[in-house]
Amino acid sequence: MKILVTGGAGFIGSAVVRHIIGNTQDSVINLDKLTYAGNLESLGDSSSHERYAFEQVDICDRAELDRVFHEYQPDRIMHLAAESHVDRSIDGPAAFIETNIFGTYTLLEAARAYWSSLNAERKGSFRFHHISTDEVYGDLDGPEDLFTETTPYAPSSPYSASKASSDHLVRAWHRTYGLPILITNCSNNYGPYHFPEKLIPLVILNALEGKPLPVYGKGNQVRDWLYVEDHARALYKVVTEGKIGETYNIGGHNEKQNIAVVHGICELLEELAPGNPHSRRSNENRASDRVGAGFSSLVTYVTDRPGHDLRYAIDASKIQRELGWTPEESFETGLRKTVQWYLDNLEWCRRVQDGSYQRERLGANV
């Protein structure tokens, strides 16, 4: 199969590309605009594989989308390209409306024109898989409640409202035009190649530098965490085995309060980076007035984000029952792997933080 992955230079998209190239015989066309969030260095060896191609294209550009469809003749589309950072959507919603809503509409129309032109056999096997978030459901009231595939939409932020809009468009293109779609709504992802603006990498990198570890409000927001490679496996299952028109919720059954996640990272760093000057055991720390304080003493509570949802948690029983997918990582094993990955890949982080990953690709004009 030829799979066109939009947003394949992003955090989850790059995990999907690495999974397909590393574990299947399928080819990938990675279509990405390379915004600040796109980093081709996240693809590792996959980017030099003969089954991999890259196209720097904006999903809002219909002519370019038509060209790519015509040139590569994909069998599947996995649509991950999006503006994805909630805080950025509060500061500047326009890009979220443009890419997440207008871009998804443009991609749907290009896909529909291409799909209509296929012969009966290829038309029958074509799929458009839209990757979305559990944030479209708003937050949960009761401590035991879970989001199911039929939970009504109630998005709170410009980001989640734009993703909800895109989900509605994708469903409408199925109901109205018969486009063979699949939708997945997933909980918070974490793992390698996550941009340092997101909670888990931010805390790891700030802690190593002795900077404050910012925690919104009281840190009592609950998120259901899923290791990104488990998500990539789930997405591949859905795009290959999912039933047309269906939605699948994906989650890790790992509900944690943000403050517990932050302290969990600090404890792992105490174990995995004992020589760091900000650790509990370091000589410098022992000699200072922060004796025995360690990484956890860097936690700093900051004013909560407006419209911050308190609790998200996913009921992932449908994908488990119907497609046989379950996560392989527990939060404990996944977090340990993640912290270790950041310790081993500080150079990748430095190139993101100082912007050199962007400057060099502009120079190389890839």
Is the CB of 83 or the CB of 139 nearer to ligand NAD? Answer: 83
Phi, psi of 129 (to 5 degrees): -105, 115
The pairing of beta strand 2-6 with beta strand 76-79: parallel
Catalytic residue, from 135, 224, 229, 329: name it: 135
Task: Give 163 or 278: the residue with its C-beta nearer to ligand NAD.
Answer: 163
Q: How far is the CB of 226 from ligand NAD (least distance, A)?
A: 8
Question: Is residue 159 among the annotated active site residues?
Answer: yes
Q: Please, which residues have CB within 8 angstroms of residue 3's CB and are 6 or more apart in sequence? A: 20, 26, 27, 28, 29, 74, 75, 76, 77, 78, 239
Tell me whether residue 165 or residue 285 sits nearer to ligand NAD (CB atom). Answer: 165
Q: How far is CA 214 from CA 160, 198, 280, in A?
A: 22, 11, 19
Q: Which two tokens stand for residue 149?
A: 């595939």
Q: Which of 199, 201, 195 is nearest to 358 (CA)?
A: 195
Smallest distance, Å, CB 181 to ligand NAD? 15
Closer CB to ligand NAD, 186 or 239, in the complex: 186
Give 3-state DSSP helix, strand, coil % of the chain, rounded to 5. Answer: 50, 15, 35
Active-site residue, from 41, 58, 83, 134: 134
- Catalytic residue, chosen from 159, 193, 312, 342, is 159
Q: Kindly state the smallest distance separating residue 316's Cβ from ligand NAD, in Å.
A: 13
Which residues are within 8 A (CB) of 77 and not within 5 positions of it... i.e. 6 or more apart?
3, 4, 6, 107, 111, 127, 128, 129
| Least Å from the CB of residue 37 to ligand NAD | 3
CB-based contacts of 306: which residues, under 8 Å, 6+ apart? 90
Decide whether 9 or 259 has the Cβ nearer to ligand NAD: 9
Catalytic-residue membership of 26? no
How far is residue 362's CA from residue 366's CA, in Å, rounded to a whole number? 7
Assess whether 304 carries a catalytic annotation. Answer: no
Q: State which residue has the least CB distance to ligand NAD.
A: 10
Supply the minimum distance, in Å, between the C-beta of residue 67 and ligand NAD.
Answer: 14
Binding residues for ligand NAD, rule: CB under 6 A, are: 6-7, 9-13, 32-35, 37-38, 58-60, 80-84, 99, 103, 131-133, 163, 186, 188-189, 195
The residues annotated as belonging to the active site are 134-135, 159
